[in-house]
Amino acid sequence: MPACLPGSLASLALFVYGLCAQVPRGGGLFPASYREAQTAGEVRLEAAQQPSVLRPLPPLPEPAEAYGEAGSAGRVGLEAGQRPGALGPLPALPEPAEAPPELAPAAPDLGLGGPLSRPIESPPRPILAPPAAVEPLFRLPDDPPRGYTGRSGVMPREGQESAHFVPIEDRWRLGWPEWDRYGKGHPLLDDYPGVLGRWFDPYNQNVLKGDYPILGQHTFLDITAKADLFFEPRQLPTQTTAFESTARPFQEEFFGRSSSFVTLDFFSISFDLFHGDAAFKPIDWRIRLTPTLGVSNFAFSERAQVSPNVLQGTSRPRAFWSLQEAFVEAKLADLSPDYDFLSIRAGNQPFISDFRGFLFADVSRGVRLFGNLFSNRDQYNLMYVRQWEKDTFTALNSFNDRNQNIVFANYYRQDFIFPGYTAQWSLTFVNDPASFKFDKARVLVRPSPLGVFQPHEQNVFYLGWAGDGHIGRFNITHQFYWALGQDSLNPLANQSQTINAQMAAIEGSYDRDWVRFRASFFWASGDGDINNSRASGFDTILDNPNFVGGPFSFWNRQQIPLFGVNLVQRLSLVPDLRSSKIQGQPNFVNPGILIPNVGMDFDLTPKVKLITNYNLLWFDKTNVLEQFLFDGAIHRSIGADLSWGMEYRPLLSENLMFIGGVSTLIPGQGFRDLYNNFDSRVGALVAGFVNVVVLY
Maximum average pLDDT range among 299-303, 451-455, 539-543: 539-543
Give the pLDDT band of residue 127 (cuts 50, 70, 90): confident
Give the domain ranges of the chain: 2-103, 219-695
Rounded to whole angstroms, what are the CA distances from 499 to 470, 485, 486, 626?
Answer: 34, 5, 6, 21
Residue 69: predicted pLDDT: 43
Tell me the C-alpha distance between 220 and 230, whole Å.
32
Tens-digit pLDDT profile for residues 576-622 = 999 999 999 999 999 999 999 999 999 999 999 999 999 999 999 99
- Enumerate residues 6+ apart whose C-beta is below 8 A from 671: 637, 638, 639, 665, 682
- The residue-averaged pLDDT of 469-496 equals 95
* pLDDT, position 583: 94
- 3-state DSSP helix/strand/coil percent for the chain, to nearest 5? 10, 40, 50
pLDDT of 505 > 60? The answer is yes
Do 367 and 383 meet the contact criterion of CB atoms below 8 Å apart?
Answer: yes
Any alpha helices (H) in 542-657, and if so which ranges?
554-557, 623-629
The DSSP secondary-structure symbol of 101 reads G
**Per-residue pLDDT tens for 154-212?**
887 888 888 788 888 888 888 888 888 888 888 877 778 888 888 888 888 899 998 89
Mean pLDDT within 289-302: 92
Task: Output the pLDDT for position 84.
Answer: 40
- Residue 33 confidence class, pLDDT cut points 50, 70, 90: very low
Question: What's the confidence (pLDDT) of residue 118?
Answer: 52
Q: What is the 3-state secondary structure (H, E, C) of 301-341?
A: CCCCCCCCCHHHCCEEEEEEEEEEEEEEEEEEEECCCCCCE
CB atoms < 10 A from the CB of 269, how many?
14
pLDDT at site 616: 97
Is pLDDT above 70 for 295? yes
Q: Provide the pLDDT for residue 133.
A: 66
Q: What pLDDT is recorded for position 241?
A: 61
Q: Return mean pLDDT, the chain.
A: 83
Quote the CA–CA distance of 111 and 105 in Å, as a whole number: 13
Q: What is the pLDDT of residue 62?
A: 52
Higher pLDDT, 25 or 589: 589
For residue 671, which of 685, 650, 660 has the smallest C-alpha distance? 685
Local structure of 71: helix, strand or coil: helix
pLDDT band at 77 (very low <50, low <70, confident <90, very high): very low
Question: Residue 278: pLDDT band by 50, 70, 90 thresholds?
Answer: low
Tell me what pLDDT residue 68 has: 41
| Confidence class for position 59, pLDDT limits 50, 70, 90 | low
pLDDT band of 142, cuts 50, 70, 90: confident
Helix (H) or strand (E) holding 221: strand 219-235
Q: Is the pLDDT of residue 28 over 50?
A: no
Q: Which of 141-145, 263-267, 388-392, 420-424 has the lowest mean pLDDT?
A: 141-145
Beta strands (DSSP E) in 415-473 are 421-432, 437-438, 444-446, 458-471
Q: How far apart are CA 224 and CA 209, in angstroms?
A: 7
Burial-class residue 243 by CB neighbours within 10 Å (0-12, 13-18, 19+). exposed
Give me the CATH topology for the region 219-695. Porin (2.40.160)
Distance (Å, rounded) from C-alpha 539 to C-alpha 551?
Answer: 19
Mean pLDDT highest for which of 78-82, 198-202, 298-302, 386-390?
A: 386-390
pLDDT of residue 678: 75
User: 503 or 247: whose pLDDT is higher?
Assistant: 503
pLDDT over 90 for what percent of the chain? 57
pLDDT tens digits for range 616-651:
999 999 999 999 998 888 999 999 999 999 999 998
pLDDT at 244: 60
Cα–Cα distance for residue pair 256/253, rounded to 1 Å = 6
pTM of the model: 0.77
Per residue in 403-460, pLDDT (tens digit) is 999 999 999 999 999 999 999 999 999 999 999 999 998 889 999 988 888 999 999 9
- Residue-wise pLDDT tens digits, 355-366: 999 999 999 999
The gap from C-alpha 65 to its chain's centroid, in whole angstroms, comes to 101
